[in-house]
């Protein structure tokens, strides 16, 4: 077996990590207590400022001709200064030997500890560039294009601890690990030509502690797992613990906290950058967070090169023979199960947050997580409850530097039928350009393959931002939310763009993503569902488990464009906007639930339970929905000022068709279908709004308060009253056609009912969800 090698520049890592660690007016007593007062080696470092000219992380790749090459992920002009006042300080300790009373076999353990105090580390420019004429290795040549500036600021001590019982890398010996990244700010800065604007991760937390195993594996590389090597489960856990909010006494933040903010006119002096809960000039795009107890968790890191990203391409026809990923890169796998909450109030509860932050903001907090199926086998074991834990699995994550016009992206047969009318799997391209170029982009590429998030929340509530004084509380009652994701694949390519004035910075991007509707047995799904967890009136030990929403979502999106930081928010110019959808609108009970009927109060026969494979049939389906969008957009994503998140701008829908006969589909369409009487390979009876084309102005707002989630939309058709921009479409009926796996049905010729034309006007809608 070929061993996978992790290539790490230890000197580079040591310098970067140490130079950030020189930080603090005074190390906190709680942090010092973790590493002081012990035998072994202790080291304390003091400084006033640390400067590094440049650091290059070199990644092997291949050019479009197949020649081996090297790309530099470059960080230049790195400087670290104290956060606020005082000096820079860090403390380290190392000790060897076993714990008191340890056996001889466990007497060669290792204990490491570190505390890095508050500091601000600024990377003036982050860029990707090759070694070669015209572009120097430090990416400072005339043709180099910076991705922007990056500043990391930890407001509280960053702590690390590792204690092993036998050696450092031992897959059979238990170790303890703690990592506390708390209240950190990450500032991503772009020069607009007249000012500097920022996208901010405010109070970024990654705070965990737990027991597990640290080892090296010839196939998986560096592995950190709660389970012993070769085991699939254990009693070991990792706790993603809540963090104290430094700005609001007595309040907490989630252990993993991603709070996306925006700030304009920040200037070029990074020492003045700040983001606190009391600042009034930073606005919110939204927040996600999570805390809880994790089981069967692992992180695996190696240098395995992906084989599915395709060749490096160039020219107007996007040709090439070389491997985009080359012989290396970074490959990660991460997975964790969510443990059930205990009755002990002192234990960390498991929950997720999704919503807004800042002034008058609320998030949707949901917990009591379970798997989709209440029972796994209602045919043979109808009374046996499903004990599988909900989980998240990031699949395979690949990070590479690449010089290419495109990235390969796989698409399933079902999505390809909606996208191009052809029921067969295919490979599409993620484009890293607005028009093909003979000089490919130097891009940072992140690819995800096979990501799953299978969790249904049985309890939901609207939770207030810590800044709100005397907030209205909402227990959420018995409602919950299901947002499971199955088999998500994605490509993201990012590259720097320098405007003609040579000062304005923008970020070019190419993004493709897809989800699969369900697995073959209906135990995993991609769905958006509201859940009613009220007690079954006929059996108090059961809940009704009603659901309603969009289930089995097969989704594909392919976007190419430019991101800019303007004073009103994020400017998104998307000249290529393509998306395809196939899903089911359904209402019923979750798979494996006891049927709500007086006849099924206590009976244990299978006909008193919703089939475990209920998501594989159409019993609950009201109708099917499929759609395709093909056009362009010029949008502003405006941050929350206290009334909600807003997106507005112009969208153009292209006319024409895609594919070749007899598998052509309109570039834009919306169809509803009678799926209940059709099979997987049939073409069901459909009503279609086909060939949509025209131009409209969109203004959408998402708001949350203590009681309601609201979605408000206004669509202004043909705002400029241009005859070529009217919104028009054909209205068609399609009869049902039977098909087989060997010969899938082809969409028949339509029965045209007429044409719909809107020369102008407004379409308004408001949709609200009020938990009971």
Return the closest-CA partner of residue 463 out of 251, 646, 240, 262.
Answer: 251
Burial 461-470 (b: 16+ CB within 10 A, else e): bbbbbbbbee
Average pLDDT (415-420) is 85
User: What is the Cα gyration radius of the chain?
Assistant: 28
pLDDT of residue 575: 95
pLDDT of residue 285: 94
Which of 76-80, 134-138, 503-507, 526-530 shows the lowest per-residue confidence on average (mean pLDDT)? Answer: 134-138
Total tally of structural domains belonging to the chain: 1
pLDDT of residue 28: 55
pLDDT of residue 637: 96
Distance CA 587, CA 620 (A): 5
Q: How far is CA 523 from CA 470, 608, 633, in A?
A: 42, 19, 37
- Token pair listed for 715: 């669509």
Distance CA 313, CA 212 (A): 43
| pLDDT tens digits along 68-96 | 888 888 899 999 999 987 788 899 999 88
pLDDT of residue 501: 64
Yes or no: say if 403 and 130 are a contact pair by the CB < 8 Å rule.
Answer: yes
| pLDDT tens digits along 327-359 | 878 999 999 999 988 878 888 889 999 999 988
- Is residue 227 domain-resident? no
pLDDT of residue 136: 58
How is 504-567 classified by DSSP, letter by letter? -EEEEEEEEEEE-SB-TTSSSB--EEEEE-PEETTEEEEE--EEEEEEEEEEEEEEEEEEEEET
- Is residue 128 domain-resident? no
Distance CA 203, CA 141 (A): 35
- pTM for the full predicted model: 0.91
Of all residues in the chain, what percent carry a pLDDT higher than 90?
63
pLDDT of residue 317: 86
pLDDT above 60: residue 138: no
Distance CA 716, CA 602 (A): 56
pLDDT above 60: residue 130: yes
**Percent helix, strand and coil across the chain, each to the nearest 5:** 5, 55, 40
Res. 318 pLDDT band, cuts 50 70 90: confident
Distant-in-sequence, close-in-space partners of 23: CB < 8 Å, separation ≥ 6: 80, 82, 83, 88, 89, 90, 116, 117, 118, 119, 120, 154
Res. 413 pLDDT band, cuts 50 70 90: confident
- Is residue 336 domain-resident? no
Average pLDDT (687-708) is 93
pLDDT above 80: residue 23: no
Distance CA 560, CA 510 (A): 4
Three-state secondary structure string covering 23-83: CCCCCCHHHHCCCCCCCCEEEEEEECCEEEEEEEEEEEEECCCCCEEEEEEEEEEEEEEEC
Q: Is the dihedral of CA 242, 248, 250, 251 positive or negative?
A: negative
- Is residue 452 domain-resident? yes
Q: How far is CA 132 from CA 58, 70, 137, 144, 150, in A?
A: 14, 10, 8, 11, 25
| pLDDT tens digits along 30-61 | 554 444 444 578 888 888 899 998 888 888 88
Distance CA 384, CA 475 (A): 30
- Is residue 195 domain-resident? no
- Is residue 418 domain-resident? yes
pLDDT of residue 500: 66
- Is residue 268 domain-resident? no
Distant-in-sequence, close-in-space partners of 100: CB < 8 Å, separation ≥ 6: none
Three-state secondary structure string covering 153-196: EECCCEEEEEEECECCCCCCCCEEEEEEEEEEEEEEEEECCCCE
Other C-beta atoms closer than 10 Å to the C-beta of 281 total 11
DSSP state at residue 7: -
pLDDT above 70: residue 462: yes
Yes or no: say if 502 and 193 are a contact pair by the CB < 8 Å rule.
Answer: no
pLDDT above 50: residue 1: no
- Is residue 181 domain-resident? no
Distance CA 263, CA 202 (A): 11
| Strand-pair partners of 108 | 166
Q: Is the dihedral of CA 604, 607, 613, 615 positive or negative?
A: negative
Average pLDDT (594-605) is 92
| pLDDT tens digits along 199-231 | 999 999 999 999 999 999 999 999 999 999 889
Show the domain range for 693.
359-769
Res. 133 pLDDT band, cuts 50 70 90: low
Average pLDDT (614-625) is 94
Res. 103 pLDDT band, cuts 50 70 90: low
Distance CA 382, CA 578 (A): 44
Output the average pLDDT for the chain: 88
Yes or no: say if 523 and 514 are a contact pair by the CB < 8 Å rule.
Answer: no
Distant-in-sequence, close-in-space partners of 527: CB < 8 Å, separation ≥ 6: 482, 483, 484, 549, 550, 551, 552, 553
């Amino acid at each position: 077996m070929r061993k996978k090698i992790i290539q790490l520049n230890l000197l580079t890592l040591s310098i970067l990590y140490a130079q950030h660690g020189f930080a603090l007016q005074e190390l906190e007593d709680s942090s010092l207590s973790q590493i002081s007062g012990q035998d072994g080696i202790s080291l304390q470092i003091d400084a006033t400022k640390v400067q590094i000219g440049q650091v290059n992380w070199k990644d092997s790749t291949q050019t479009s001709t197949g020649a081996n090459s090297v790309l530099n992920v470059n960080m230049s002009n790195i400087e670290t200064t104290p956060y606020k006042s005082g000096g820079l300080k860090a403390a380290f300790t190392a000790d060897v030997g076993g714990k008191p009373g340890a056996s001889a076999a466990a007497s060669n353990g290792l204990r490491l500890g570190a505390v890095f105090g508050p500091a601000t580390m600024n990377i003036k420019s982050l860029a990707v560039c090759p070694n070669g004429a015209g572009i120097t290795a430090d990416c400072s040549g005339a043709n180099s294009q910076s991705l922007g500036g990056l500043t990391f600021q930890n407001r509280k001590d960053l702590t690390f601890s590792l204690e092993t019982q036998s050696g450092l890398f031992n897959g059979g010996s238990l170790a303890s690990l703690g990592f506390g990244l708390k209240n950190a700010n990450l500032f991503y800065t772009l020069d607009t030509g007249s000012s500097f604007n920022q996208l901010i991760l405010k109070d970024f937390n990654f705070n965990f502690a737990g027991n597990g195993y640290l080892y090296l594996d010839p196939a998986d590389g560096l592995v950190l797992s709660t389970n012993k090597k070769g085991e699939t489960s254990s009693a070991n856990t990792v706790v993603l613990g809540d963090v104290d909010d430094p700005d609001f006494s007595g309040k907490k933040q989630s252990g993993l906290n991603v709070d996306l903010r925006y700030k304009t006119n920040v200037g070029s002096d990074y020492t003045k950058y700040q983001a606190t809960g009391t600042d009034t000039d930073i606005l919110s795009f939204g927040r996600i967070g999570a805390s809880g107890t994790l089981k069967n968790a692992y992180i695996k890191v190696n240098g395995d090169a992906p084989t599915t990203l395709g060749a490096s391409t160039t020219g107007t026809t996007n040709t090439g023979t070389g491997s985009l990923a080359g012989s290396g890169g970074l490959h990660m796998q991460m997975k964790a199960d969510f443990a059930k909450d205990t009755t002990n109030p002192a234990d960390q509860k498991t929950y997720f947050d999704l919503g807004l932050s800042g002034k008058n903001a609320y998030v949707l907090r949901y917990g009591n997580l379970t798997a989709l199926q209440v029972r796994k086998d209602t045919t043979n074991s109808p009374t046996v409850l499903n004990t599988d834990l909900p989980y998240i699995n990031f699949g395979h994550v690949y990070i590479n530097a690449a010089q290419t016009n495109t990235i390969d992206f796989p698409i399933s047969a079902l999505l390809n039928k909606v996208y191009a009318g052809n029921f067969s799997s295919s490979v599409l391209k993620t484009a890293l350009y607005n028009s093909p170029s003979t000089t490919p982009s130097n891009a940072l590429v992140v690819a995800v393959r096979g990501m799953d998030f299978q969790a249904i929340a049985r309890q939901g509530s609207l939770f207030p931002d810590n800044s709100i004084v005397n907030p209205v509380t909402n227990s959420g009652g018995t409602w919950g939310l299901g947002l499971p994701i199955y088999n998500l694949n994605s490509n993201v390519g990012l590259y720097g763009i320098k405007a003609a004035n040579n000062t304005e910075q923008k970020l070019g991007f190419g993004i493709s993503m897809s989800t699969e509707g369900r697995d073959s047995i209906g135990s995993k799904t991609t769905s958006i569902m509201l859940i009613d967890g009220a007690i079954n009136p006929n059996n108090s030990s059961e809940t009704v488990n009603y659901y309603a929403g969009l289930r089995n979502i097969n989704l594909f999106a392919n976007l190419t464009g430019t991101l800019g930081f303007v004073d009103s928010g994020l400017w998104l110019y998307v000249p290529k906007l393509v998306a395809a959808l196939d899903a089911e609108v359904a209402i019923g009970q979750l798979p494996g639930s006891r049927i709500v009927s007086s006849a099924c109060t206590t009976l244990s026969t299978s006909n008193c339970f919703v089939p475990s494979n209920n998501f594989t049939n159409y019993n609950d389906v009201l109708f099917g929905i499929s759609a395709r969008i093909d056009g362009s957009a010029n949008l502003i994503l405006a941050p929350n000022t206290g009334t909600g998140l807003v997106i507005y701008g112009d969208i153009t829908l292209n006319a024409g068709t895609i594919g070749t006969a007899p598998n052509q589909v309109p570039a834009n369409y919306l169809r509803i279908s009678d799926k209940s009487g059709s099979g997987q390979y049939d073409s069901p009876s459909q009503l279609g709004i086909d060939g949509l084309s025209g131009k409209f102005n969109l203004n959408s707002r998402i708001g949350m308060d203590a009681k309601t989630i609201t979605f408000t939309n206004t669509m202004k058709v043909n705002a400029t009253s241009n005859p070529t921009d009217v919104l028009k479409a054909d209205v068609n009926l399609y009869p049902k056609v039977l098909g087989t796996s060997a010969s899938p049905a082809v969409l028949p010729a339509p029965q045209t009912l007429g044409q719909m034309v809107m020369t102008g006007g407004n379409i308004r809608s408001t949709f609200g969800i009020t938990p009971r």
